Structure formats: structure tokens, C-alpha cells
Amino acid sequence: MEDKIGVFICTGYGIADALDVDALCKVATDEFNVPFCKTVESCEGPGLKSINEDIASEGLNKVVIAGISPRRYPDHAFPEQVMVEPVGLREQVVWCLPAAEEDTQMVAEDYLRMYLTRVKKRQPLEPFQPEETIDKSLLVVGGGIAGLTAAVEAAKAGYEVKLVEKTAVLGGWLAKQHKSIPTRPPYRDLEDTGIDELIAEVDANPKIKVYTSATTGEILGAPGLFDVTLKSAGNGKPEGEVVDQFRIGAIVQATGWRPADPREDLPYGKLDNVIRNVELEEMVKSQGRITRPSDGKEAKSVAFIQCGGCTNKEHHSYCSSICCLTSLKQALYVREQDENSKAYIFYEFMRTPGKYENFYRRAQEDDGIFLTRGDVTEVKPNDNGGLSVTARDTMLGEEIQVNVDLVVLAAGMIPNAADGEAIRALEDAKVTMVEGDSEAKKKDAAETLERLKQHDGTQILNLGYRQGPDLPSLEYGFPDSHFICFPYESRRTGIYPTGAARQPTDGMGSRADATGAALKAIQCVEMTARGEAVHPRAGDKSYPDFFMQRCTKCKRCTEECPFGVLNEDKEGTPLLRATRCRRCGVCMGACPERIVSFKDYSVDIVGSMIKAVNVPDEFEEKPRILVIACENDAFPALDLLGQHRLQSSPWIRTVPVRCLGSVNFVWITEAMSAGYDGVILIGCKYGDDYQCHFVKGSELASVREKNVREKLEQMAMDTERVELHQLQIDEYHKLPGIFEKFAELIDEIGMNPFKGM
Amino acid sequence: MVTAEKTESEQLQLGEQESPQTKPVPSTNGRPVVIDPDLDFIRSLSRQSRESYKKCFQCGTCSATCPISPDTNPFPRKEMAWALWGMRDRLLEDPDVWLCHHCNDCSVRCPRSGRPGDVLAAVRRECVIHYAAPRFLARWVSQPRFVPLLLGLPAVLLGLAIVLRDPIANALGLAAPLGESIVYSYSPWLPHWLINGFFGLFTLFALAAAIVGLVRFIRVIKAPGVWGATGPPTRSFMSSAWTAIKQIFTHDKFTSCTAEHSRPLSHLLVFFGFIALSVVTFWVITGRVNPLLRDAFVYPFSFLSPWKLLANIGGAAVFVGCVMMLRQRLRNRDNAGGSTYFDWAFVWTLFAVVVSGFATEALHYLRMAPHRHVVYFIHLVFVFTLLIYLPYSKFAHLLYRTTAMIYAQYYGRNGATSTAVARDGRVDEESHDQASTSGGALP
């Protein structure tokens, strides 16, 4: 289809006062030979309507609107087939630079050139449609409270669900509980768990097919096209035998938790009357009363030791958040048993967040429940067949000792999740140990084996992903997700961890969480069916195209993709699984051969934008600084800079990128060749508390930046000409300082020597 | 930097003023304290302190706000901790609870409505029962169902005395002359010798009971470590007693109460009114038997006699004080403290004594016999319940609090000395602040 380009220039918002609008028009009509250039008073409301009328009457298919920030347009502001490039002159030029000055005018004209270049290079989007139909049914792994809830909620929304449970019965931990902590006002009374009703609801729902005593033997494919093989987990059938095979669209991982190992200094396993909270729960559930395991005598006094499994800071330094509530609940069991029974709770921190404070009060007000902070230093047998518990640093200000029949350790929660990346690394190391060609490599592999040995044989999902058979994990073994901004999301598109597998939580929390995860899974299959990306570029219809003839099988893209989109064959050829893709472009930034491109975002498009800027020669003393800004935080921060009327720099030219990880560093060398005096890359925070929407993008950029510095050295350029910053969206006020300092630096080291060459 | 220096100098200043206490709680020779919470004790305290006090989360607001909390030994925070853990013995042996005036500054400010002030009142009630001899009498006095018995007992005893008046007089050889003497005979029906003898006898009993209770109490509070002091007392017992008595007569600690300003005033009225009545009563009893005054002693007093005047003013003070107390307790329950039966019984008895006394006086001047005899009889029954049950009722605070205050001076209990009250009588802001910062944490 032939390009019909149109340019609209807003005169409102003070743009006409600050800039020479006629000169801007001339850039379009004279430099770019755009036949249609029109000034409009506004690009919102009636102004937007008139723009759309002109687009329709002129039959435009590519449009540049110089006016407000792209973020200020409502969704679906323009017809879908029209490629629109809004230029945020208001926020990033008029509001943050002095009016009616030559330098300001140059900025505006350059931006018009950049976006005209971009719109010219863009191609119409064709949403990804695989040959096979996208399957919209869901797989729920785990039949506990979270899994059951996810299955019921998804079925209620009209989706077919397959529910897999490893054990022979549904219900998980909640089915083993006598009572539940309160879930409704006034949050004071113990409740029935309600799990039987939920199981009955699942059993009765024709849209849910339940597999018990089964595990996910293999999951191949990608969202909408997952091929699942269920294998028997024993209980009648031979273990490992294939139970069923089917296709599903998305997965909810509700694999729950397991209790942590208790503190080593407490005699768990050595003394019969020292048990864990899970065992007490099962005791009450099965025999209806609390007894001493040693002699079956009724327990009249019980001591609960909090953080009983968490004090090994090396392996378990997080709070499981519900052990305190569980101990308070179990203390009430003790009290219900006999009006003269006593329950002691020794804690480091009593944590009963939110409304659970009422439950804490309920237990505290009970005459026979005794709470104190304290370090339990000793648990030893006493003369009457019980135990004496000694604690120091108590609220009583002294070391105290109580004699009890039973000691209960509050064990923390460990997620039932496996670290896919670690498992893969382990496998690689094993291969290296056998086939490795150097001693150094073998030594590294041996170290890896030692470091990751606890990951051996921990597979749960058994995904057919190049980056490992399970979701990658965070520090504590929870599946990696951007839990601050986007809970439920994992780094494997279409797989949503929930419940206690995602974060320590109770039954009530699991119900809410699983409902959310079911909705995310539904969103995923629906958007995948339309060929759209899921979060965070939700609705994006572009997808990466690999020009395979030039691929060198270097594996950078398959290794660096944060979402494990690419599998590879034996030779290392990347195999695209497009429905896994989040469209961040990290592969585009990674590829040394520059074979990865999107229809509206490619090495060529961005490179051309950069080169579209008019760089004055060095005698004009007008430096040009290229700012490559992440669209998610840094670019909106530049808008905020204008909104707050802070002063920007007339020397900068900003290019937004999908993610700093998508920056192909050829752009930097090209910018240097084009005469820019320096480049500032601004991305999201990375590290343990990362804020990168694509998890690894900004971190990858920082690694690649080092290579760029080497390249600059080869070009005999100062390496200081490239800077990388991490910026939160609310740190917009730091930007003027960054620009000013960089301009001073350029002033100091001089203009780019390649300028004008 | 500046702040740190300031705090340091403040601490230094304080260190000079008050001797730091090294051992906050009774020594256990380095071994852990074995605790077996007394559930009955907890239930009893809970019943007495209006709402459950098992709400305390040991924030220390009570200690920070309490004018008599020492800076190194948080009071009443530690008592709250002991109460939470049902440590009955330790609370009964804790003299600090007797230094509390139940001003309720702590109860009003408690963020959990744990009402430490009311808990301490409940502990004092337990103490009265614990130290009483015989203990069952204290249990009777502390429970409403024994009211008929407790009022019936003096009525029957007094009635019996009246019925047996003549045989007794004969046996004692007092018959005719005493019966006709105006000095010894208010009326032939209820002669003064009988009343004096009757009350003298039972007062001896009450006195003996009080002494037994006090001896038990003193033995406990003299035990090492109770006051936190390790060394021997630094001042004489007499000078300690003198300081304590001065404190009692001026109510200087009580007046630092901010939750209910009228409470110290009402207590002062009752206190001095009662002293006035006691002085006159003592004068009347001794005057009658004093051989030196024998003929000069004129009774009944004329209405304008200084003794009668003192008695009437004293009675009026007690009456007004009682009305104020009842009003505070009925109208402002939060600030005046949760009133239990133990409190009500004492205040109402006092009120009944003063009302029946004035009624008797009025009927006397109106010459309304025999009505006055009936009212007088009732008055005497109430006087009996007030005085003879003293070691078993809330009135026992007269014994234990006074003793505790004397020993607090004797052992130099931090916070019991006058340092917390500045020279002008206001609460010393600085030492109060110190209490807020250091009193919040148990060592």
C-alpha cells in the first residue's frame, strides 16, 4: 500500500507562542516532501475529532501529530489501520525550554524529523497467528485452596479447566486443618475451613476435569499451544505412566508450600513431645484432642515457639506471615480443650497484619494464653514426662522457664516451586564435567554443581523451555515476578504462579490471589488468540521477526531473553515461540547480526531516527546529546519534567525505546559517527529490587555498555561520552542535574572529533 | 550531635539526683524464674478490673505517664506483665502497688484500654485478703452476698449487749451509780459505758488483726531485693516515717493526678473530716474516764462548744467528700476508675456512717425519742462495719499504704522521693520526660 503521510501541528498549549510553526511545517513539506501539513488548535476533544476527519477525508495512512505527549491520548484515539506518531512537543519542548529561542526551535524541528523518519519506515502490523488454533482451556497445577479456587473461578467465567493434583485427594493443607483462622468480621472466631464445599463445587462443575495422583510429566509449546503430558504419581497406577495428554492455553501454578525444617538447636525429632505446627494440626484433625505423643496423656499446657524454622537466616530469612496466626489459632485449640489449660507463645515478632489484629486480641484476652517476646534457649525433658522451656529477653524482663506437656514449633513456609534456571545451569554443568574441553571450565562446572545441588530433581512443571524446566526463581525460591507492580506475572508468559507458591499466604489470601491468577490466565489466552502481547505491552500486535539466513547461532538471544521465548535446536539455532513473547526487544538488542526486527521497531528505524537529527558543526558550539530513554519509566519522567516546568537542556534529543535491553549498541557507534557528542541511556532500576518491566533489560544494557566503552576506545573516543542511569518515574527532578552535568562534561572533554566528517 | 549531648547531660543530672537501681526484680540467683500462671488469680483480677486487662502489649505508656514510676524500674508496666502471666505471689509481695493512688492517668492513656490503674486496685484487694487475719473475714467483706451477715452480726451483737445490759452491769458492779450519771449514760436504754465497752472490746480485736496483717506485710516488703535496693537503708526509720506522713497530709503525690482533678480534694475532705471526728470521739471517750476531768467534763456538749463544732465540721467534710466521691464514681467511670463492690462497699459505709450520725444528732436536738434511739442503733451498726472491718475492707489501705510509703522512703525507692515533684508543687517536666524515655523499657 502506498504511503499517504500527513502532519498535524498543534498551535495550542502555548506551542505557537514558543515555536515558529511555519518553519516546522516547512520541515515536513520541504525536507520530507509531505504533501499534507495542517495546523490545528488542539489535539484533544474537538481537535482530535477534526484530525480524524482529515485522516478519513484525505485517506492518510501515516500521521505525525506534533502536540501533546503520546501518553495523553485516550485508547483507540485513531483508526486501527492508521500508523500514528505523536510528538510530545508540549511536555518535552515547550514546557521545559525557553520560548521563542533558536535552540528551542531546533529541538522541535529535530523531533519532527525523527518521527517523520520513523513513520516513513514503519510497516503495517500483522498480528501473529499460528497455523494451529489457539486453545483457550486452562491447566491448574495443584489441588489446594488456591488451585481449587482458580479452577472454580475460571470455570465460572466459562473456560474449560484441567486440574492436576499430585496426591490422591483434593484440598491440600487446608483439608488437613481442624479450623481456619477468621476470614470475616469481626475476625475473632475460628471458622470451618470451607474446603469440603469448595471440593464439592469443583467435583460438580462439568467444566473442570480433575486428575488426582498425577503430575505434569511434560509441558511443551507456548501459550495457547501448550501440549501437556500427565504422568501417574503412584496410588494404584505404576509411577510415571502416562495418564493423559491434551492441549491447553495457559497454566496456573498453585503448587503450594511445604513446612520448613525446624531450628537445629531445638530437639525436634529427638524428643517425642516436640512437634511442628503442621503435626499439631493433623493431630487435632484426626483425634480431636491434643495429647503428648510420648504417652498419649492429654496436653494441659503447650508452648509455641515462633520462627521455629526461620532462624537459619541463611536459608530462611523471610517471614512466612501466617505462622503467628496459626499459633494463636492452635493456642485457642488448647484452651478449648480444658478451661484450666495453658498455652504459651514465645515470639520474636508477633505479626498479625490488618484485620487479624482483632484475632490477636481475641487470643491475648483469653485468660490462659500467655504471650511474650523471647529467645527460647533450651527445651529439655522435665520430671513429669513433659518439657521445660527456657527463654531469655522476655517481656517480663528476666529469663523465664515454663513447664509444659508439649512444645510446638511454628515452621515457616517454603514454596513448592523449582528454579528452572538453576536446574538448567546444573544440567549444563553436568555436561561440561563430561565433555568440557578445559580444566578451568570443568572447575567452574564443579563449583556450579556444588552450589546448586539442592535443585537436583526438583522439577515440577517440566516445561520444554531452553532456559529450564520451571519458572525462574527469586532469592527465596519464589517464582520471579514483578510483585510490586504486577503480581501473578511470572517470567514465563501464560504461566501464573499463585497462592503460597507465589508468596507466603493463608487460605483467605490464596483465594483472592488465585482468583486474580485465573483472570490473568484468561486474559492470556484471549489476547494470544487475537495475536496480541500480554502485559506489560498489553495489546501490542507487533512481534519479532528473525531473518534466519544471517543467524550465526551465537545463542545470545536464546540466553538473554528474559521470558524464555526462544528454544534452540541442537546446533543452537533459535526457534521462535512467538506466543511466549512480551515484545520487549531484548533479542533485538542482543543480536550482533541485527537480524531481529519488529514491523514498527527495528535497528534500522531507531538508527534512522537518531541520524535524522541535524547535528551542527563544532564551530557553532551547540553540542548534541542523544538520550535513549526507556518508555516505561524514563520517558514518562521526561514528560513529568515538563509538567513540573523544570528546565531541560536544549542539547538533548530523546529517543524512546521499548526497554533499555532492546538497545542495539550499534546505535551508539552510529550516533558517534553522526556527530553526537555523547549518549545518555536511562533505564529502570535493576538488581534484587528491580523495577524493569522486562526484568533483565536495564541490567543487560549495563553489561553491554561495557562492551560499547571498549568499542569507543577502539574509535579513539573518550569512554565518558556514554553514561547509563537508573531512574524511577518519580525521580524526574533528577533529570536536569543529569543533563547539566553531562553538558559540563562534554564542555570539558570537547566536542566529538568526528563531527562533520 | 547537639541533641545527643543534651540527653547525655540530662542523664548525668538525673544520675546525681537519684541513685540508680541495679536490680529491678527479685533476685533469682541467676536461674530462670519458673512461672506457672495462676488462672484463678487472673480470672479474679479480670473480674475486678471491669474489662479484661489481658490486652496489654507492654508499650510502657502507663510507666511513662505515671508520676510515681521510677526511671529505671517501669511501674506499673512490670506489674501489668506479672498480672498478664498470672504471677500471683510476686504481685502480692510487691509494695509498689500500694504507692499507687489510683489516679488513673495510666488507665486513661492506655492505648489498649488495659486500665492498669484498675488492675492495681484489684491487686490491692487481693493483698488485703491475702494479708488479713483471719482471711475468711476479708473474703466476706469483699463479696456482696455476705452483706446481710456482715450488717447482721454487729446488729445482733449490739442487740445482745443491750438485752444483757443489766446482768453485765451487775456482774461488773456498775449498776446504779453509773446508770444515772450523765457522764456514763446517754440513756438508760443505751448507756455509754456499754457502747464504750462494746466498741473497746471489738476495737482491740480489729487492732490485733491489723497488727497481724501488718507484720505479715512488713516481713514481705523487708525481704532483700523487693525495693530494688541492695544496700542497707540510708536514712532513719523515724525520718522516713515523718516524710511519709507529711506526704500523706499534703496529698502531694495524689494532687499530680490529671485524669480526675477533684479526686484528691474529695479524699482530703474525707481524710481531715475523719481525723476531726476521730479526735472528738477520742476526747469524749477519754474525757469521760479521765479522773482529772471527771467533773469539768460536761456532756452532751453544747451546740457551740468547740468540740461539737469540730465534730460537725468534720462530719460535714466527710459528707461532702463522700458525695463528691460517689458523684465521680457514678458520673465519670473512665477517669475515676472502675468501681468494684470492694470500692462501693467502703464509700457507702462511710456515707451511711456520716448520714446516720447527722440524723441521730438532728433527732437528738428535736428530742424525738425513741426514734433517735433506733437511728442511733443503726448509726452504731455502721460505725462497727466501718471500724471493726477496717483490716478486711478497702479501709485497710490506711494500714498498708502508709506502711509502704514509709518503707519506700526508708529504702530510698526511686520515684517515691520528692524529686518527681518540683519545688513549686507541679510535676517536674524534666524528670517526667525522663520517665517517658527510660520508663518505657524493661531492663
Same domain? For A634 and A754 the reply is yes
Question: Within an 8 Å CB–CB cutoff, is residue B90 touching chain A?
Answer: no
Domain boundary at A122, A156, A183, which?
A122
Distance CA B10, CA B75 (A): 21
User: Taking residues A568-585, what's their average pLDDT?
Assistant: 94
B326 within a domain of the structure (yes/no): no
> Is it true that the peptide bond before A497 is cis, omega within 30 degrees of 0?
no
CA B74 to each of CA B59, B434, B437: distance values in angstroms, whole numbers, following the listed order: 11, 11, 10
Answer yes or no: do A398 and B32 touch at CB < 8 A.
yes
φ, ψ (nearest 5 deg) of residue A117? -60, -45
Of A84, A79, A74, the residue nearest A118 (C-alpha): A84
User: Taking residues A454-467, what's their average pLDDT?
Assistant: 89
A581 within a domain of the structure (yes/no): no
What is residue A527's predicted lDDT score, i.e. its pLDDT? 97
| B23 contacts on A by Cβ (under 8 Å) | none
Question: Within an 8 Å CB–CB cutoff, is residue B33 touching chain A?
Answer: yes
User: Taking residues A219-247, what's their average pLDDT?
Assistant: 93
Nearest by CB to residue B25, choosing from A361, A398, A401, is A398
What is residue B255's predicted lDDT score, i.e. its pLDDT? 79
Same domain? For A309 and A341 the reply is yes
B411 within a domain of the structure (yes/no): yes
Residue of A nearest to B73 (CA): A397
> Which amino acid type is present at position A635?
F
Lowest mean pLDDT among A81-85, A226-230, B63-67: B63-67
Same domain? For A244 and A265 the reply is no
What is residue B256's predicted lDDT score, i.e. its pLDDT? 75
Helix or strand holding residue A301 (H, E)? strand A301-305
**Backbone dihedral region for residue B206 (phi beyond 0: left; psi -120 to 50: alpha; all else: beta):** alpha
Same domain? For A624 and A657 the reply is yes
Question: Within an 8 Å CB–CB cutoff, is residue A398 touching chain B?
Answer: yes
Residue ranges of A 400-419 with Cβ closer than 8 A to chain B: 400-403
Distance CA B343, CA B354 (A): 17
Residues near B291 by Cβ (< 8 Å), separated by ≥ 6?
none
Cell numbers describing residue A277:
505446627
B205 within a domain of the structure (yes/no): yes
Answer yes or no: do B52 and A365 touch at CB < 8 A.
yes
- pLDDT above 80: residue A310: no
| A404 contacts on B by Cβ (under 8 Å) | none
| B85 contacts on A by Cβ (under 8 Å) | 370, 372, 396
What residue ranges of chain B have pLDDT lower than 50? 1-27, 177-179, 183, 417-443
What is residue B336's predicted lDDT score, i.e. its pLDDT? 65
Answer yes or no: do B55 and A364 touch at CB < 8 A.
yes
What is the reported pTM?
0.85
Nearest by CB to residue B39, choosing from A368, A396, A403, is A368
φ, ψ (nearest 5 deg) of residue B291? -60, -25
B26 within a domain of the structure (yes/no): no
Residues near B30 by Cβ (< 8 Å), separated by ≥ 6?
none
Residues near A191 by Cβ (< 8 Å), separated by ≥ 6?
A179, A180, A181, A182, A183, A184
Q: Domain residues for B351?
A: 40-53+60-260+332-443
DSSP letter (8 states) at residue B20: P
Answer yes or no: do A397 and B78 touch at CB < 8 A.
yes
Beta-sheet strands, E only, within A569-630: 574-576, 596-597, 625-630
Residue A132, classed as helix, strand or coil, is coil
B223 within a domain of the structure (yes/no): yes
Assign 3-state DSSP to chain B and report helix, strand, coil percentages, each to 5: 65, 0, 35
Answer yes or no: do A403 and B39 touch at CB < 8 A.
no
Beta-sheet strands, E only, within A118-203: 138-141, 161-164
Distance CA A691, CA A699 (A): 11
- pLDDT above 60: residue A423: yes
CB atoms within 10 A of CB A486: 13
Helix or strand holding residue B400 (H, E)? helix B397-410
A450 close to A536: Cβ distance less than 8 angstroms: no
Answer yes or no: do A395 and B442 touch at CB < 8 A.
yes
CA A611 to each of CA A53, A113, A439, B233: distance values in angstroms, whole numbers, following the listed order: 33, 10, 47, 92
A433 within a domain of the structure (yes/no): no
> What per-residue string of b and e applies to B66-98 under the rule 16 or more CB within 10 Å gives b?
bbbbbbbbbbbbbbbbbbbbbbbebbbbbbbbb
Same domain? For A178 and A118 the reply is no
Q: Domain residues for A351?
A: 260-412
What is residue B428's predicted lDDT score, i.e. its pLDDT? 39
Nearest by CB to residue A370, choosing from B33, B43, B85, is B85
A193 within a domain of the structure (yes/no): yes
What is residue B441's predicted lDDT score, i.e. its pLDDT? 38
User: What is the number of structural domains in chain A?
Assistant: 4
CA A587 to each of CA A560, A583, A584, A630, A701: distance values in angstroms, whole numbers, following the listed order: 7, 9, 8, 16, 12
What is residue A315's predicted lDDT score, i.e. its pLDDT? 56
ipTM: 0.81
CB atoms within 10 A of CB A564: 25
Cell numbers describing residue B243:
516524710
What spatial distance separates the first Cα and last Cα of chain B, rounded to whole Å? 26
HEC sequence for A346-407: EECCCCCCCCHHHHHHHHHHCCCEEEEECEEEEEEECCCCCEEEEEECCCCCCCEEEEECEE
Domain boundary at A389, A412, A435, which?
A412
CA B141 to each of CA A2, A218, B341, B355, B381: distance values in angstroms, whole numbers, following the listed order: 106, 80, 10, 21, 15
Helix or strand holding residue B179 (H, E)? helix B175-180
Q: What is the pLDDT of residues A653-705, one digit of tens each?
A: 999 999 999 999 999 999 999 999 999 999 999 887 888 889 889 999 999 88
Same domain? For A162 and A245 the reply is yes
> Which amino acid type is present at position A185?
P
Of A650, A655, A653, the residue nearest A621 (C-alpha): A650
What is residue A313's predicted lDDT score, i.e. its pLDDT? 57
Same domain? For A245 and A329 the reply is no
Please state, for a pLDDT cut of 90, what percent of chain A lies above it: 79
Residues near A133 by Cβ (< 8 Å), separated by ≥ 6?
none
Answer yes or no: do B39 and A402 touch at CB < 8 A.
no
B327 within a domain of the structure (yes/no): no
| B35 contacts on A by Cβ (under 8 Å) | 396, 400-402
Query: In angstroms, what separates the C-alpha of B223 from chain A's closest C-alpha?
Result: 19
Question: Within an 8 Å CB–CB cutoff, is residue A338 touching chain B?
Answer: no
In the block, cell 481475641 appears at A362
What is residue B191's predicted lDDT score, i.e. its pLDDT? 79
Residue ranges of A 27-66 with Cβ closer than 8 A to chain B: none
Of A170, A266, A158, A150, the residue nearest A212 (C-alpha): A170
A754 close to A673: Cβ distance less than 8 angstroms: yes
Residue ranges of B 46-75 with Cβ closer than 8 A to chain A: 46, 52, 54-55, 57-58
Distance CA B366, CA A132 (A): 116
Same domain? For A330 and A474 the reply is no
Distance CA A141, CA A626 (A): 48
User: What is the number of structural domains in chain B?
Assistant: 1
Distance CA A121, CA A123 (A): 7
CB atoms within 10 A of CB A670: 18
Residue of A nearest to B41 (CA): A367
Nearest by CB to residue B43, choosing from A367, A396, A397, is A367
Same domain? For A28 and A90 the reply is yes
> Is it true that the peptide bond before A186 is cis, omega within 30 degrees of 0?
yes
Q: How many helices (H) and strands (E) does chain A have?
A: 20, 30
Cell numbers describing residue B106:
495510666
Please state, for a pLDDT cut of 70, what percent of chain A lies above it: 98
Query: In angstroms, what separates the C-alpha of A395 from chain B's closest C-alpha?
Result: 7
* Angle, CA A210 vertex, CA A204 and CA A214 arms, to 5°: 160
What is residue B16's predicted lDDT score, i.e. its pLDDT? 35
Q: What is the pLDDT of residues A521-563, one digit of tens each?
A: 999 999 999 999 998 899 999 999 999 999 999 999 999 999 9
Distance CA A501, CA A253 (A): 8
Same domain? For A623 and A485 the reply is no
